[in-house]
Amino acid sequence: MFKKILIANRGEIACRVIATAKRMGIATVAVYSDADKDARHVQLADEAVHIGAAPSRESYLLADKIIAACKQTGAQAIHPGYGFLSENEAFARRVEEEGIAFIGPKHYSIAAMGDKIASKKLAKQAQVNTIPGYNDAIDSPKQAVEIAASIGYPVMIKASAGGGGKGLRVAHNDKEAFDGFTSCRNEARNSFGDDRVFIEKFVEEPRHIEIQVLGDSHGNVIYLNERECSIQRRHQKVIEEAPSPFISDDTRRAMGEQAVALAKAVKYQSAGTVEFVVGKDQSFYFLEMNTRLQVEHPVTECITGLDLVELMIRVAAGEELPLKQADVKRDGWAIECRINAEDPFRNFLPSTGRLVRFQPPEETMFQADTGKRLGVRVDTGVYEGGEIPMYYDSMIAKLIVHGTDRSHAIAKMRAALNGFVIRGISSNIPFQAALLAHPKFVSGDFNTGFIAENYAHGFAAEDVPHDDPLFLVALAAYMNRRYRARASGISGQLEGHNVKVGEEFVVVTLGAEGQNQHHPVSVTDFEDKSGSSAVLVSGRSYQISSTATLGQIRVQGQCNGKGFTAQVERGTAKNPLALRIAHNGTQIDALVLSPLGAQLYRLMPYKAPPDLSKFLLSPMPGLLVDVAVQEGQKVQAGEKLAVIEAMKMENILFAAQDGVVGKITAGKGESLSVDQVILEFV
């Protein structure tokens, strides 16, 4: 067994590998860029080596620097994680040639399966059903349009070296094929250093189901059941679960056996994933093979009780797999939500900056400890006070739950999301909460088009219907009562001017454009129970109790005998006197006033926000890579104005209406902050 390994990655996956290595008694070496000098993986590792500037092409993609770090520290093996160089055949070969063990498949397996064009050809030779398409690299946008038209729209344009949703577009017409080819090529070149692009037919209403395989150097290959990954947004997975609520045992077995046959054909050693697109009739087609550990591997670990990172390390050290196919378990149900640094209410634009608050829900399952079951696990590479840089992927954590069955797992996940506190940057937690509550998700009736169909016009606060909105009003009144009770107990108050707690209040929920709602409430404390009150709202009674300390954001307690977890804060950017209540993805800002105060508040005039339609503002922090217009130019609605690069994705800004460009205030190559003016219209 190795004494020391180097992790050629960053973020949560580097931390994940370190956890298993520590349990196995193996020393670890981290590598880091300028942006990651204070990162969590650097702090957790036994040693750390600086390898370059912040952009990944100047650090994490430099094989020479990583191998030099390995030799410098005496590490015997390299774990590549996922992304970066994990599926780079030349890197794997170079590592092997340098006498260092690669904790992943052999370079010839990566060459055969890591390249999506080569893998499709090999799958065809192995008589595996593949999707119709053009499997050679395409040279120009014009050729892409010709091929797409010959296959028949819609088509999928994919970078050969792509992954994680980068370098992938769906085109429904010639224009989308032309533009999609160019964007795919640029993203692939920037993210992977390989700009080859191919095209295949896009199967409509598909499910994305993948099989986890595991092989060793002794010729053994097994499959560890499947993962359902159909909940995707722009081809990036959002929620993954194991097992799938869709396929039958017969289909599972057939897919697993086919995945094993494919892995054996390329002498696969290590953990890998064979991805399939599955039709409504459970017919399935080979999509691609990911020759690495997957982001969503924890859900497989939950239902099988296996540590996939440990098995990868043991296989790389030459050990035989410790189990046969018949030994593979399938216990309970696991769900993973990817918590991303993005603002779901602003079309999921990247959100970077400092994590002012980062308090995940309490963990009861842990990385590298598969003995713990039926609980909550958080895989992350960040910490409170740390920075989310703009150079890397937007995922900041993975929230994983394991339940006895699917409904139990969904309930656990909803409660865990309620208790996940993130401040300083925006996160997609409200969107995840909405997905988990959606009737079609709950029933298991969905495909890869689920998000595009149900949130075609983006995501808004009203897309998260709360099953009991008056509970939020009652909780605001209850928390206000707790604050008032504390204030009344402060010593030294002037006689006759003491704080009076009172029982009758009006909760004013603050709406857009001054459309507020007034809810008369009464709050009565239970004398025999500290921290317990009865709240009456619109004829409904809520008996709420909590031992939460005033001032902490996460509030846990009981309401009418059932447990709840919510988030409560005093003061918002718009109103320092408001209480912000968040629960099950729904958020309200509320003022809790005396009846007289509420009457007076109704008389307050509404102040409309300033008109910013004459400005093009940067919707995110990022790099301005292109300004597509000039001063004095007439533009039409829908015309391209600028391109911003953030978190490895290109974001194109279009004109919202016809106009004439006045002054351009930001230049190409400039780093932009949120709401920075790029140009003005006259």
pLDDT computed for residue 492 by the predictor: 78
User: Based on the number of CB atoms within 10 Å of its own CB, is 158 exposed (0-12), middle (13-18) or buried (19 or more)?
Assistant: buried
H, E, C per residue of 558-578 = EECCEEEEEEEEECCCCCCCC
User: Based on the number of CB atoms within 10 Å of its own CB, is 405 exposed (0-12), middle (13-18) or buried (19 or more)?
Assistant: exposed
Please report, for residues 164, 297, 412, 419, the alpha-carbon distance to residue 408 in angstroms, rounded to integers and kept in the order given. 29, 20, 6, 17
The single residue listed with the structure tokens 């520590």 is 22
331 belongs to a structural domain? yes
Distance CA 570, CA 553 (A): 9
Cis, peptide link before residue 361, omega less than 30° from 0: no
610 belongs to a structural domain? no
Q: Dihedral of the CA atoms 409, 411, 413, 416 (nearest 10)?
A: -140
| pLDDT less than 50: residues of the chain | none
Tokens of 639: 């015309």
Given the DSSP bridges, would you call strands 27-33 and 4-7 parallel, antiparallel or unpaired? parallel
pLDDT computed for residue 64 by the predictor: 96
Which residue of the set 288, 301, 342, 569 is catalytic? 288
* Spatial contact of 305 and 207, defined as CB atoms under 8 Å apart: no
Largest Cα separation within the chain, whole Å, is: 91
- φ and ψ at residue 456, rounded to 5 degrees: -60, -30
Tokens of 185: 């090529």
Q: Let me know whether 289 and 353 are in one domain.
A: yes
Question: Facing residues of 286 across strands?
Answer: 130, 276
Element (H, E) at 479: helix 469-488
Distance CA 594, CA 601 (A): 10
Q: Let me know whether 546 and 628 are in one domain.
A: no
Can you give the length of the chain in residues?
682
Q: How many domains does the chain have?
A: 5
Q: Let me know whether 519 and 431 are in one domain.
A: no
Please report, for residues 147, 535, 540, the alpha-carbon distance to residue 543 in angstroms, rounded to integers and kept in the order given. 65, 6, 10
CB hemisphere CA count around 453 (13 angstroms): 13
Q: What is the CATH number of the domain that holds 196?
A: 3.30.1490.20
3 state DSSP class of 535: strand
Spatial neighbors of 445 by CB under 8 A, at least 6 apart, are none
Q: Is 669 left (phi over 0), alpha (psi -120 to 50) or beta?
A: left
pLDDT computed for residue 151 by the predictor: 87
3 state DSSP class of 150: helix
* Spatial contact of 259 and 284, defined as CB atoms under 8 Å apart: no
Helix 141-151 to helix 174-192 angle (10° resolution) is 120
Q: Let me know whether 269 and 398 are in one domain.
A: yes
112 belongs to a structural domain? no
The single residue listed with the structure tokens 């922090």 is 621
Q: Let me know whether 330 and 195 are in one domain.
A: no
3 state DSSP class of 138: coil
Distance CA 450, CA 533 (A): 42
Q: What is the CATH number of the domain that holds 674?
A: 2.40.50.100
* Spatial contact of 519 and 509, defined as CB atoms under 8 Å apart: yes
607 belongs to a structural domain? no
Q: What is the DSSP letter of 366?
A: B
Nearest CA-CA partner of 417 in 399, 404, 394, 402: 399
In this structure, which amino acid lies at residue 129? N
The single residue listed with the structure tokens 């109704």 is 602
In this structure, which amino acid lies at residue 304? T
Q: Let me know whether 238 and 370 are in one domain.
A: yes
124 belongs to a structural domain? no
DSSP line for 88-143: -HHHHHHHHHTT-EESS--HHHHHHHTSHHHHHHHHHHTT--B--EE-S----HHH
At which of 87, 103, 119 does a domain end?
A: 103
The single residue listed with the structure tokens 């050809």 is 121
* Spatial contact of 159 and 196, defined as CB atoms under 8 Å apart: yes
Tokens of 6: 């180097």
3 state DSSP class of 257: helix
Q: Let me know whether 423 and 444 are in one domain.
A: yes
Q: What is the CATH number of the domain that holds 230?
A: 3.30.470.20
Q: Let me know whether 435 and 480 are in one domain.
A: no
Q: Let me know whether 246 and 190 are in one domain.
A: no
* Spatial contact of 10 and 396, defined as CB atoms under 8 Å apart: no
Tokens of 72: 């410098």
Distance CA 496, CA 515 (A): 37
* Spatial contact of 392 and 164, defined as CB atoms under 8 Å apart: no
Element (H, E) at 556: strand 554-559
Query: Domain residues for 372?
Result: 207-458
The single residue listed with the structure tokens 């950017």 is 573
Q: Let me know whether 170 and 221 are in one domain.
A: no
Distance CA 314, CA 269 (A): 11
Q: What is the DSSP letter of 245?
A: S
Q: What is the CATH number of the domain that holds 513?
A: 3.30.700.30
Please report, for residues 23, 103, 321, 322, the alpha-carbon distance to residue 369 in angstroms, rounded to integers and kept in the order given. 9, 20, 19, 17
609 belongs to a structural domain? no
Tokens of 99: 């006498």
At which of 572, 602, 632 does a domain end?
A: 602
At which of 560, 580, 602 does a domain end?
A: 602
The reported pTM is: 0.83
pLDDT computed for residue 6 by the predictor: 98
125 belongs to a structural domain? no
111 belongs to a structural domain? no
* Spatial contact of 285 and 307, defined as CB atoms under 8 Å apart: no
Q: Let me know whether 158 and 282 are in one domain.
A: no
Q: Does residue 288 carry a catalytic annotation?
A: yes
- φ and ψ at residue 396, rounded to 5 degrees: -110, -15
Q: What is the CATH number of the domain that holds 90?
A: 3.40.50.20
Tokens of 236: 């990036």
Q: Let me know whether 346 and 454 are in one domain.
A: yes
* Spatial contact of 522 and 535, defined as CB atoms under 8 Å apart: yes
